[in-house]
């Protein structure tokens, strides 16, 4: 592309796995495959901060939290464990509004599927805002330089 | 890749499942997988209503697809026997909205 001053405009792109442009279809496919070996399918799909939140929740094990679900049910309990899908296992559970939701009266330990969580309400002293902020910033910066771009410059994670 | 909590500790226990459409199904967990698909034996559904007590519908051996599961709770038999289901009045659970 040339402008009036007849200097060709070079658009810079961040490149990941190979510095030579343009990538052929096969090189592109192989490079993408190599990237996919680094990230689990879940990470590639969601892309961004799954790892960070997984580590964060692992540190919160043993704390009392309230999980609000997408069906408006709110369950209070001690965080027992969490997994890569951010499924949550709670012990000593009590439903927050037991009169409205007596459906779980005889349940004391439960497994909550990650996909159905709306909020996880944390104890105020359980959150180190600075640490989280820092970690998020680092993760975002790391991802920016690690993005894979396709032929048209679109981000392909 | 850690497998985390998992449902291993609940196998052969009586569990209460809440599905995405707001149903409550009670049964014995026989098997599960990474997608949280469940195999439930001796299962029955507990239908809650505001007009009459809890209705229990016998279902038998069920496979519940993981996409549809919200909560898997370990049913405490003692607590459950203390419940008088015929006296329980409640609105049915709301469906999950993503």
Confidence (pLDDT) at A37 = 46
Confidence (pLDDT) at A8 = 58
From the list A84, A88, A110, which residue is nearest B1 (CB)? A84
Its ipTM equals 0.91
Nearest CA to A13 among A133, A152, A157? A152
From the number of C-beta atoms within 10 Å of its C-beta (0-12, 13-18, 19+), residue B75 rates as buried
Q: B91: helix, coil or strand? A: coil
Confidence (pLDDT) at B45 = 93
pLDDT in tens, B62-93: 999 999 999 999 999 998 898 888 888 888 89
Q: What is the pTM of this model?
A: 0.73
| CB burial readout B11-29, b (16+ within 10 A) else e | eeebbbbbbbebbbbbbbb
Confidence (pLDDT) at A126 = 75
Confidence (pLDDT) at A150 = 56
Partners of residue A69 on adjacent β-strands: A117
DSSP characters over A62-117: TSEEEEEETTS-EEEEEEEEE-TT--EEEEEEEESSTTT-GGGTTEEEEEE-GGGE
Question: pLDDT over 70 for what percent of chain A?
Answer: 59
Searching chain A, which residue's CA lies closest to the CA of residue B24? A103
Given a cut of 90, whether residue A38 has pLDDT beyond it is no
From the list A101, A109, A116, which residue is nearest B70 (CB)? A116
Cα(B12)–Cα(B27) distance, integer angstroms = 9
Residue count (chain A)? 157
Mean pLDDT of A10-16: 49
Cα(A147)–Cα(B69) distance, integer angstroms = 34
Cβ contacts of B67 on chain A, cutoff 8 Å: 115
Cβ contacts of A72 on chain B, cutoff 8 Å: 94
Cα(A32)–Cα(A16) distance, integer angstroms = 10
Long-range contact pairs involving B54-57 (C-beta distance under 8 Å, separation at least 24): B54/B85, B54/B86, B54/B88, B56/B85
């Amino acid at each position: 592309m040339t402008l009036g001053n007849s200097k060709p405009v070079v658009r810079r792109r961040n490149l990941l796995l190979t510095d030579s442009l343009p990538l052929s279809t096969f090189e592109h496919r192989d490079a993408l495959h190599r990237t996919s070996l680094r990230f689990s399918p879940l990470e590639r799909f969601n892309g961004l901060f799954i790892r960070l939140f997984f580590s964060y929740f692992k540190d919160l094990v043993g704390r009392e939290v309230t999980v609000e679900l997408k069906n408006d049910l709110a369950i209070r309990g001690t965080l027992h464990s969490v997994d890569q899908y951010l499924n949550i296992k709670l012990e000593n559970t009590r439903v927050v509004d037991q009169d409205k939701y007596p459906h779980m009266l005889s349940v004391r330990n439960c497994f909550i599927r990650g996909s159905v969580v709306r909020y996880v309400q944390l104890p105020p002293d359980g959150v180190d805002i600075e640490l989280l902020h820092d970690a998020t910033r680092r993760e975002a910066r790391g991802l920016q330089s690690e993005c894979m771009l396709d032929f048209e410059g679109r981000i392909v994670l | 890749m850690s497998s985390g909590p998992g449902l291993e500790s609940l196998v052969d226990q009586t569990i209460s499942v809440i599905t995405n459409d707001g149903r409550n199904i009670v049964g014995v967990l026989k098997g599960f997988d990474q997608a949280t698909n469940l195999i439930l034996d001796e299962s029955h559904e507990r239908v809650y209503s505001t007009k009459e007590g809890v209705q229990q519908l016998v279902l038998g051996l069920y496979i519940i697809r993981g996409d549809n599961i919200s909560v898997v709770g370990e049913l405490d038999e003692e607590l459950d026997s203390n419940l008088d289901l015929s006296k329980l009045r409640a609105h049915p659970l709301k469906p999950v909205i993503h």
